[in-house]
Amino acid sequence: MVEQKVIGVVASSSYSPSVLSSKRYDVFLSFRGEDTRKKFTSHLYDALKQKKVETFIDNCLEKGEEISTTLIQVIEDSHISIVIFSENYASSKWCLGELSKIMECKKERGQIVIPVFYDIDPSHVRKQTGSYEKLFVTHKGEPMCNKWKAALTEAANLAAWDSRTYRVESELLKHIVEDVLEKLAPIYPNWHKGLVGIEENYEKIESLLKVGSNEVKILGIWGMGGIGKTTLACALYDKLSHEFEGHCFLENVREESDKYGVKALRNKLFSELLGNKNHCFDVAFSVTKFVLSRLGRKKVFIVLDDVATSEQLENLIEDFDFMGLGSRVVVTSRNKQIFSQVDKICEVKELSFHHSLQLFSLTVFREKQPKYGYEDLSRSATSYCKGVPLALKVLGASLRSRSKGAWECELRKLQKFPNMKIHTVLKLSYDGLDHSQKDIFLDIACFFRGDQRDHVTNMLEAFDFSAISGIEVLLDRALITISGGNQLEMHDLIQEMGRQIVHQECVKDPGRRSRLWKHEEVHEVFKYNKGTDIVEGIILDLSKLIEDLYLSSDFLAKMTNVRFFKIHSWSKFNIFNVYLPNGLNTLSHKMRYLHWDGFCLESLPANFSAEKLVELCMRCSKLKKLWDGVQNLVNLKTIDLWGSRDLIEIPDLSLAEKLENVSLCYCESLHEVHVHSKSLRVLNLYGCSSLRKFSVTSEELTRLSLAFTSICSIPSSIWHKRKLKALYLTGCRNLGELTDEPIIHGSHKHSLTELASNAERFSMKNIKSLSTLRMLWLDDCKKLVSLPKLPPSLEKLSACNCTSLDSYMTQRLVLQHMLQSRIPYLRKNDLRCYDEEYLFPGNHVIDECVFNTTETSITIPYLWKTELYGFIYCIILSKGSLLQSGISCSVYQDGIRVGWLQRLLEYESLTSNHVLCMYHDINEFDAITEEGHGHFFSNVTFIFENSEASIEEFGIFPIYGSESGLKLVGRR
């Protein structure tokens, strides 16, 4: 067999590999050799070859009764089949077999079939009359005869070329080749050079469109400016528009509607859909009922690019019914809010660094890899663009054909000033915001990126901004995102754009800008007293100081409108600090947020009014008191004076009606604390080593930490706080006997979920009745001999260094708890078992566990499948520190990993070996192969790995269910 290969005319390395078809041939030629091989077929093959269409023609295949498997594969690997019906075509069983396979591929694989009637009446083929009737006499009794006739009829009914209608054969060949090229074009879409990294987005969007179904669908493509929405829409339009009876791509709807009005765009849309290419913006186009009825019978494809508002979208396609069955509309926008009517929304994400570098290199060097010697510079430029295609192309174009020195200069410049072409495109999203939304955006860009959404929302609300709705608008316009940890995030280029807007408020004088965040500029404004009443927010990182900063007492006097003030450090040990040798005269009365780590004075200015203050954070300060007298703290929600070791008193907080959180950790000079705000939820007195007396009246209290204080007793009122969820009493060396009697038998229903204590005489006889308790810390309870039955809700127990505990009995108790209480409790309450963790002293896994080893892995040859719940792991940890250490277990079946469990450990120091018990639920495993008749799993291997922690031994208990309950499997 001699295979004739020709490179496809539209094949190119610049096309996306995932969209290009994997088929081997563009065209398969089916013909009767004796009739047309030396004449028409050879001419057609040559014409296709000249147009670089990869065409298969079989010249040397041996003919037989049936077509070969090789030829079947060739037909399947072709986009188009051209069937040349000639006078004696039906005489060949081989040809008829080819035709049957071709029609099968048309039906099942969507192959395009082009019939050509060469010097024969199409009706003879369609009805098997004339010469075809005579030829079929020779096939009488052939079992495939009816199938061949059906294939002939079906093929002859397709749109075809008839040689009898042409005076010259060359004209016929020309038209057939044009037809082939037209049909191949959508299969090989006209992808723009340099288009990389969009395959995943493209495939997702095309699948959502479901081209071919009769329903009318509207799809939204959404993302930040420059991210590639228009590029994707163009690719879709290039590939799919040919499948529709009418199509229109409206570019730059935002800009064009501003220039000409939405009505003019609507006229253009309808004109193109009707095929009237002579439209003009200033010529009215009447959309009559007749026009709508015509379009209603037409299947159309519409792309509306860069739609800014809901009104624009509604005005362009308000007559949703004007589109015929099977029509599709693709809308690109930066504003997610406009997509209320669309069927699906597809978000376009940033390119990976790999694809970003490819796109940048194609733009600069016209190759997919950086030019030799420019590798590091190209990576630096790519990193700046952070996956935004527009930025990669703009920056790449600006660096093309320039020297290394020019590259280095441009990249240094970008560290101070953004590229204005990129800035202008990104700023369009900002320009569409209202005044409050702009303020919210600028605050996040300058101060709050990376902070918790709830905290930022509360702060912005305190600034009198409409924070909840404003943040949603910014999300909808792709100006911000929310991380998995509920943090507000922002693309680097978007943040740079926002900060540039503030910079442009006054280029040369930072003291006349609304927000200050650059260390050098804040330092200058503070030191030389350059602030003005324009400044609203300031942030200074103490860790960036290169020397102590000494300020005048009136350095803030002219900044009367400051609402946000933050001097902070990530570390409590600052090398340098801000000092006020002559004190501080004043603070802005409009202050909502005051955060000043290491504050060097003993109190705030006497004239400071805290009426508008929402959050006060002054960690590691020299404060002895906040202020004299009683302040109207009507808006105050948070006080954090962590590490203020000289603090001797806190103010009267009875008027703080909104106060929720007070943190006085490590305020070692405090002897008593009384908080009488009715709204208080959290009171943290951890490490207040001199504290002997405290009281709190709030019924809203949920968390109370008295750990490492000198309190001697707990007021009985604490046990009756209905909403109290967490109580921490660890390290209270003066605390006498602590019982749980008040919790159990009090008249009020409790909701305690976390309890920590190492009191010498800690009574636990009724601990099992704490029905909501989830976590229990008993570390260093040296006299604790035994544990009672644990409440079924308990999922975490820490009994580190409880040296008097009986290891064997404790291990049996914990296993019993996990088996009889915790696991059924989890299943019943539809909870997961990720955080199950029980730690207590012990040197060995109990003897009942046969599946145990001192090695790092163990294999169980057979496990019965029926009613297998999961596994309990008992791990013996060596004594020592377990801070920032971890343990993981990988589960393999026949060499394939089917399960994985990881746990981070945070225990400061173990004075002896300890037992760690964890549960691994079978529902968290991947599919495990069933051997035999599905009764058991085979060759299940458990591999334990550790980071920093040392494992002495581990054991595994398979857990099974039965009518009488759950059971541990202790032996094979």
pLDDT one-digit tens code per residue, 257-274: 888 888 888 888 888 887
Local structure of 2: helix, strand or coil? coil
What is the pLDDT, as a whole number, of residue 152?
95
pLDDT band at 20 (very low <50, low <70, confident <90, very high): very low
Are 626 and 649 within 8 A, CB to CB?
no
State how far the Cα of 565 lies from the Cα of 960, in Å rounded to an integer: 59
State how far the Cα of 583 lies from the Cα of 552, in Å rounded to an integer: 8
Phi-psi label, residue 849: left if phi above 0, alpha if psi -120 to 50, beta otherwise = beta
Residue 884 predicted with pLDDT over 90: no
pLDDT band at 769 (very low <50, low <70, confident <90, very high): low
Give CA 888 to chain center in angstroms: 26
Residue 188 predicted with pLDDT over 80: no
pLDDT: which is higher, 951 or 684: 684
State how far the Cα of 725 lies from the Cα of 59, in Å rounded to an integer: 85
Alpha carbon of 773 to those of 373, 480, 584, 833: distances in Å?
63, 38, 49, 15
Span 270-327, pLDDT tens digits: 888 876 654 454 445 556 677 677 777 888 899 999 999 988 988 888 765 678 888 9
Residue 125 predicted with pLDDT over 80: yes
Are 793 and 774 within 8 A, CB to CB?
yes
CA nearest to 304, candidates 367, 219, 243, 363: 219
Are 437 and 474 within 8 A, CB to CB?
yes
State how far the Cα of 864 lies from the Cα of 868, in Å rounded to an integer: 7
Instruction: Say if residue 878 is exposed, middle or buried (CB neighbours under 10 Å; 0-12, 13-18, 19+).
Output: middle
Asked if 98 is an active-site residue, the reply is yes
CA nearest to 958, candidates 854, 848, 873, 890: 873
- Residues 6 or more apart in contact with residue 420 via CB below 8 angstroms: none
Span 899-920, pLDDT tens digits: 888 888 877 788 999 999 999 9
Residue 193 predicted with pLDDT over 60: no
pLDDT band at 398 (very low <50, low <70, confident <90, very high): confident
What is the pLDDT, as a whole number, of residue 281?
47
State how far the Cα of 736 lies from the Cα of 855, in Å rounded to an integer: 45
**Which helix (DSSP H) or strand (DSSP E) does residue 375 occupy?**
helix 375-385
pLDDT band at 4 (very low <50, low <70, confident <90, very high): very low
Please state the rounded mean pLDDT for residues 589-614. Answer: 95
Alpha carbon of 461 to those of 457, 498, 639: distances in Å?
6, 20, 18
Are 636 and 610 within 8 A, CB to CB?
yes
Span 794-824, pLDDT tens digits: 889 999 999 889 999 999 999 999 888 878 8
Span 199-224, pLDDT tens digits: 777 888 888 888 878 888 899 999 99
Question: What's the pTM value of the predicted model, to 2 decimals?
Answer: 0.69
Please state the rounded mean pLDDT for residues 555-563. Answer: 96
Catalytic residue among 98, 272, 536, 615: 98
Pairing between β-strand 837-841 and β-strand 914-921 as defined by DSSP bridges: antiparallel
Are 839 and 797 within 8 A, CB to CB?
yes
Please name each of the domains of the chain with its CATH number: 25-187 (3.40.50.10140), 198-347 (3.40.50.300), 353-417 (1.10.8), 422-505 (1.10.10.10), 597-773 (3.80.10.10), 842-968 (2.60.120)
State how far the Cα of 352 lies from the Cα of 334, in Å rounded to an integer: 21
Q: Burial code of 730-757, b = ≥16 C-beta within 10 A, e = fewer?
A: bbbeebeebebeebeeeeeebebbbbbb
Span 608-664, pLDDT tens digits: 999 999 999 999 999 999 998 888 899 999 999 999 999 999 998 988 999 999 999
3-state SS string for 776-809: EECCCCCCCCCCCCCCCCCCEEECCCCCCCCHHH
What is the pLDDT, as a whole number, of residue 639?
97
Pairing between β-strand 661-663 and β-strand 615-617 as defined by DSSP bridges: unpaired
pLDDT band at 6 (very low <50, low <70, confident <90, very high): very low
When the pLDDT of each residue in the chain is averaged and rounded to a whole number, the result is 85
